[in-house]
Structure 1
Amino acid sequence: MVTRRTILLGLGAMTAFAALPARAAEGPLSVVATTGMIADAARQIGGAEVLVQALMGPGVDPHSYRQTRSDIAAMTRAGLVLWHGLYLEAQMEDFFHALARKRDVVAVADATPKDLLRHHDDYADKYDPHVWMSPEMWKHVVREVARALTAARPAAAELFASNLERHLGEIDRLSAYGRRIAAGVPEGNRVLVTAHDAFGYFGRDYGFEVLGIQGISTQSEAGLNRIGALVDVLVDRKIGAVFVETSVADRNMRALIEGAAAKGHQVVIGGELFSDAMGATGTYEATYIGMLDHNFTVIAGALGADVPEGGMDGKLSAGI
């Protein structure tokens, strides 16, 4: 939960910076984004017209992230703040709602049509926020980023529209690649076992059953009963590979593997996936296209498909 002290700290910083003048129109628009995925969308669309800072870097779990003093300073100075919404940044929601009274603040994933969203497994009135796992779903978010940038910097509307069209084309190409290699996974192998339930939209789009040890949020408890039940699934269905995630500790997955081994069934780690955060700064996997190219290629390859060396365009850092 967000503490009263944290909220007061944020409100105090907002008051201190409220009188700051807007950045000069001729300079880049200062944009702060919570996740790397949103930051990448803002850079792709904004180009030289924006200066983007991402609060959450590689390996950071947005479900449990809380704003720091430097985050508060950056957001209260920014010309535009982009956050995901859909209860992804659960610990920061009160701060964003307060900040929206002083600055331009947009929850970009809230633009996703509700009838396309999966219901949250822990909260009846909320939804699965991991829409970036589906390129088709992510296009709604990218369009909302473009809308927010255009509203904040209308003089660059033509540039933003052109960049949006280009980036949507890249996302379509990525989606087609994912469908092509996913189709090569044998029917009996189309089960994706991960640390938490972040891949539901991927499973729905590409025809995989997805089983997470934890629920949609990494704050969900993974009890012994859940691990024991998944061990039985691995053994009974002869599932040979599971996947760890870069932003979630692997201890529960190790327990799953050890439980299967105790029952005489060998399970290997099929690879490491990017779930709630992208790859290392400066790498191909630090882009949205690279992140999903990696995930698609690792999943399909580990589960029996013939995948190209290095992914869609041979750009994956470690090859496959």
Structure 2
Amino acid sequence: MICYSLNVLKASSMKSFIYLSLLTLALAACSSTPNNTAVAPSPAASGAPTQAANQQEQRKPLVVTTVAPLTNIVSNIAGDRMEVKGIIPEGTDSHTFEPRPSDTDILSKASLILVNGLHLESPTEKLANSTKPKDTKIFEMGSNTITQDQWMFDFSFPKEKGDPNPHLWVNPKYAEAYAKLAAQQLTALDPAGKNYYETNLKNYMQRLEDLDKVTREVVASIPPENRKLLTYHDSWAYWAREYGFQVIGAIQPSDFKEPSAQDVAKLIDQIKKEKVPAIFGSEVYPSKVEEQIAREANVKTANTADDELPGEGGSANAVENKNPQHTYIGMMANNLRIIASGLGGKPELVDRLVTANVVGPTAVAANPTK
């Protein structure tokens, strides 16, 4: 009887052992993953942005600008503490630009709006005033750089129309003023970033001072009798005043249309009389009339730029830029080469300039001119 009970107990224990073993194997099989099945990594493991990071990115103040040079200058100071967005596309005539429906949404979210002023972006400013948040400031960089008695009027911007020449940024000294004003406005919006903006300003000012220095060297290399500009678009007035050039005329009339046959004839006569060796067109305003004038006056011609940055694959926003030539300083360096080549100067002097931004993926640390 005792033997029988022991045998039953042994059999029962064996069954329990087998059952538990099978259960363990089944659970292991369910929890394992086949070799050909990918396991989705967690956001933290994969490096994907966390919700907190996304929220932090979304909290960056939005600074809205207009033309590309202004966007580039401001973003070199703002760095990655602000989102800087320019609403006038490169290659667009900033004088005739009309804001698009999508710009309404951008302006309605702006924490700060930085424009050139001097009547350049009147439609944009009008829209901004009607759509911006109540506490958002619209600040005119140009109007806070020079006073009205320093405004310049010329062929494309006659005084009787009341609209001054707005292209202050073509003068590197005024670009320096823009950078300082940008730092002031950004600091007022984000006091915690004061030291960051001051550092960026210091580095960028060094770059702009180098541009001014090289510009003066290039101008000195041009024979004095050749220091005259006839351009398609009247955007060089403030540059000429700063560096001792004479603007003798512009091909484009004040209505921004093509000149009449009579205007063309006068320009050809003027070029011959002034003995100008070259005239300069515009990237934004390609014109066959310019080529005709150059051909009939027997002078060279080349295109300069005042609000279109050079090179492909770049962004005016320094933080997004992938081309170190696609900068405000890069644009002015190209202009200097073109002017020096056309007027008998030394374009190779420009090669000493560092054109890259001081922030962003293509940034180069601020160093003295080579």
TM-score, structure 1 normalization: 0.81
**Which whole-Å CA distance do the structure 1 matches of 2:262 and 2:187 have between them?**
50
Work out which of the residue numbers 108, 113, 120 in structure 1 matches 2:146.
113
Work out which of the residue numbers 216, 234, 237 in structure 1 matches 2:271.
234
Per-residue CA deviations over 1:163-212 (Å, capped at 9, x if unaligned) read: 11221121111001000011111122212221111001111112222221
- Over 3 Å counting, the alpha-carbon distance change for 1:307 and 1:255 in structure 2 is closer
Per-residue CA deviations over 1:126-171 (Å, capped at 9, x if unaligned) read: 4321101111122222222112211211111111122112211211
Which segment drifts farther, 97-106 or 69-78?
Answer: 97-106
Kindly indicate whether residue 343 of structure 2 is the aligned counterpart of residue 303 of structure 1: yes
Q: Secondary structure at 1:106's aligned position in 2?
A: strand
How far is 1:248 from its partner? 1.3
Q: Secondary structure at 2:203's aligned position in 1?
A: helix
Kindly indicate whether residue 310 of structure 2 is the aligned counterpart of residue 273 of structure 1: no
**Which whole-Å CA distance do the structure 2 matches of 1:213 and 1:89 have between them?**
22
Partner of 1:19: none
Kindly indicate whether residue 251 of structure 2 is the aligned counterpart of residue 213 of structure 1: yes
Matched AA of 1:189? N
Matched AA of 2:323? T
Higher radius of gyration, 1 or 2 = 2
Work out which of the residue numbers 81, 88, 94 in structure 1 matches 2:120.
88
Partner of 1:178: 215
How far is 1:48 from its partner? 1.3
Per-residue CA deviations over 1:243-271 (Å, capped at 9, x if unaligned) read: 111111323312322443xxxxx2221x2
Aligned pairs for 1:35-50 (under 5 A) are 35-50=67-82
- Over 3 Å counting, the alpha-carbon distance change for 1:73 and 1:26 in structure 2 is closer
Q: Secondary structure at 1:308's aligned position in 2?
A: helix
User: Which consecutive residues of structure 1, in runs of 5 or more, have no partner in the other structure?
Assistant: 1-22, 261-265
Matched AA of 1:228? A
Matched AA of 1:199? W
- Over 3 Å counting, the alpha-carbon distance change for 1:272 and 1:283 in structure 2 is farther
Q: In 1, are the aligned partners of 2:64 and 2:86 still within 8 Å (CA)?
A: yes
Identity value in percent: 25
**Which whole-Å CA distance do the structure 1 matches of 2:260 and 2:127 have between them?**
31
Partner of 1:294: 334
- Over 3 Å counting, the alpha-carbon distance change for 1:46 and 1:293 in structure 2 is same
User: Which consecutive residues of structure 2, in runs of 5 or more, have no partner in the other structure?
Assistant: 1-54, 315-321, 357-370
Matched AA of 1:122? P
**Which whole-Å CA distance do the structure 2 matches of 1:182 and 1:289 have between them?**
17
Q: Secondary structure at 1:48's aligned position in 2?
A: coil
Matched AA of 1:275? D
Which segment drifts farther, 120-129 or 200-209?
Answer: 120-129
How far is 1:108 from its partner? 1.9
Q: In 2, are the aligned partners of 1:35 and 1:54 still within 8 Å (CA)?
A: yes
**Which whole-Å CA distance do the structure 2 matches of 1:110 and 1:220 have between them?**
27
Per-residue CA deviations over 1:78-101 (Å, capped at 9, x if unaligned) read: 222221111112433322333456
